[in-house]
Amino acid sequence: MTLLLLFSCKHKETKENEKLGSSNSQQIDLFDSNDNCTYVGYVNKYYFQKTNEFYIELYSKRTDINFDKISKLTDSIIYKDDENVRRRIPLSIASKEFDFSGIRELTLFDGKQNELTKAHFIRVEFLEGSINSYITAVYQADSPARVNKAVYCIGNLTESLTKANYTEFSDSAMTRDIMNKLNLTYTLNLESKHYRESINKPTFSVINMDSTAQIIERLKSGYNCIYKSSEREQIFDLVFIPLMRNSKPILLIKSVVPDTDVDWNSLLVYDGTTYKPTESQRIKN
């Protein structure tokens, strides 16, 4: 009887080790040890659930995502209420479908560019909400209490930060001056936000006109358009990231298609003339 029990325990332990080894093998496959990409994105908390976990949105390796197909490939439910469901996606499937470059470890920052804590990958999930659905990578932070202050994160951070605190302010006179000097016109809607690091530094302005958006830089010589939307877009949030390209900070923005529920995030990098969105919110190291 004792021998049978020992054999049973040993057999169970072997199976658990095999399962653990398989999981670790899958996780290693998700991340490239020679990764040369840095990811920048918003830190998303679960508004409907109190948890120490948070998530970032994943990009598909394909041109589009079939959410119905993905939902059928999930293997367990992490959380469910009347409006939201979190379903786990097996790593063997996720590794083939989604981009994991630059997101093995994340560094979290608050809105003033202060580093808060590090965070580590836990699992991949399909987050199904009442309005939108997302494929997410889920993380836990070394200091969970600091996640509440987090605004954005940087993955695979390998370069020095250039910290600069920009303050948002309203100035209707500046908005009118920009519209007049650049001959900008609108029909129904005009919204503006202005950002300044200090009095002597250039000012950045987000101008939303009807269904287009522009980012305007004010220099001593006048105004210059450094970003113009190429599709229907309004920018409703902008974060200055403490990483520089061509002497200007990288920008993280949230955009929406006017009068719809369609929204997305973009990472903008200055190429010497204008700001342009990067692919999958990544920059090359």
What are the pLDDT digits (tens) for 104-144? 999 999 999 999 999 999 999 999 988 888 999 999 999 99
- Give pLDDT, residue 19: 37
Long-range contacts of 120-124 (CB under 8 A, 24+ apart): 121/27, 121/30, 121/31, 122/53, 123/78, 123/88, 123/89, 123/91, 124/58, 124/88, 124/89, 124/91, 124/94, 124/98
Residue 162 lies in a domain: no
73-96 pLDDT tens trace? 999 999 999 999 999 999 999 998
| Confidence check: pLDDT of 20 > 70 | no
47 and 145 housed in the same domain: yes
Place of tokens 């630059």: 102
- Give pLDDT, residue 25: 41
Residue 12 lies in a domain: no
pLDDT band for 67, please (50, 70, 90 cuts): confident
200-248 pLDDT tens trace? 788 999 999 999 999 999 988 899 999 999 999 999 999 999 999 999 9
Tell me the pTM.
0.88
Cα distances (angstroms) measured from residue 206 to each of 113, 130, 178, 273: 20, 30, 11, 17
- For 224, the token pair is 């210059």
48 and 141 housed in the same domain: yes
243-283 pLDDT tens trace? 999 999 999 999 999 999 899 999 999 999 999 999 999 99
Q: Which of 101, 132, 155 is where one domain is finished?
A: 155
127 and 178 housed in the same domain: no
Determine the average pLDDT of the residues in 1-15.
40
206 and 105 housed in the same domain: no
Report whether 253 contacts 237 (CB < 8 A). Answer: yes
| Confidence check: pLDDT of 26 > 50 | no
Residue, of 24 and 36, whose pLDDT is higher: 36
- Give pLDDT, residue 145: 96
Report whether 250 contacts 268 (CB < 8 A). Answer: yes
Residue 22 lies in a domain: no
- For 27, the token pair is 């996780």
Domains identified in the chain, total number: 2
Kindly report the CA angle at 60 between 239 and 85, in degrees rounded to 5? 80
| Confidence check: pLDDT of 21 > 80 | no
Residues whose CB is less than 8 angstroms from the CB of residue 158 and which lie 6 or more positions away in sequence, other chains included: 38, 285
Q: Is the dihedral of CA 205, 207, 213, 216 positive or negative?
A: negative
233 and 142 housed in the same domain: no
140 and 178 housed in the same domain: no
Q: In whole numbers, what is the pLDDT of the chain averaged over residues?
A: 88
Residues whose CB is less than 8 angstroms from the CB of residue 234 and which lie 6 or more positions away in sequence, other chains included: 191, 208, 211, 213, 255, 256, 257, 258
Residue, of 196 and 13, whose pLDDT is higher: 196
63 and 84 housed in the same domain: yes
Residue 21 lies in a domain: no
Domain range for 41 is 37-155
Q: Which of 96, 128, 155 is where one domain is finished?
A: 155
Residue 1 lies in a domain: no
Query: Pairing state of beta strands 248-256 and 263-270?
Result: antiparallel
180 and 144 housed in the same domain: no
Report whether 88 contacts 124 (CB < 8 A). Answer: yes
185 and 95 housed in the same domain: no
Could you give the CA distance from residue 54 to residue 138 in angstroms, rounded to a whole number? 6
Residue 256 lies in a domain: yes
Residue 215 lies in a domain: yes
- Give pLDDT, residue 170: 94
One-letter amino acid identity for 6? Answer: L
Phi, psi of 19 (to 5 degrees): -65, -45
Could you give the CA distance from residue 119 to residue 143 in angstroms, rounded to a whole number? 8
Residue 24 lies in a domain: no
150 and 185 housed in the same domain: no
Kindly report the CA angle at 263 between 258 and 266, in degrees rounded to 5? 115
| Confidence check: pLDDT of 17 > 90 | no
177-186 pLDDT tens trace? 999 999 999 9
Q: Which of 155, 190, 216 is where one domain is finished?
A: 155
Maximum pairwise Cα distance, the chain: 91
136 and 207 housed in the same domain: no
119 and 222 housed in the same domain: no
Strand residues in 1-132 grouped as ranges (E): 37-42, 53-57, 76-80, 85-89, 105-109, 115-128
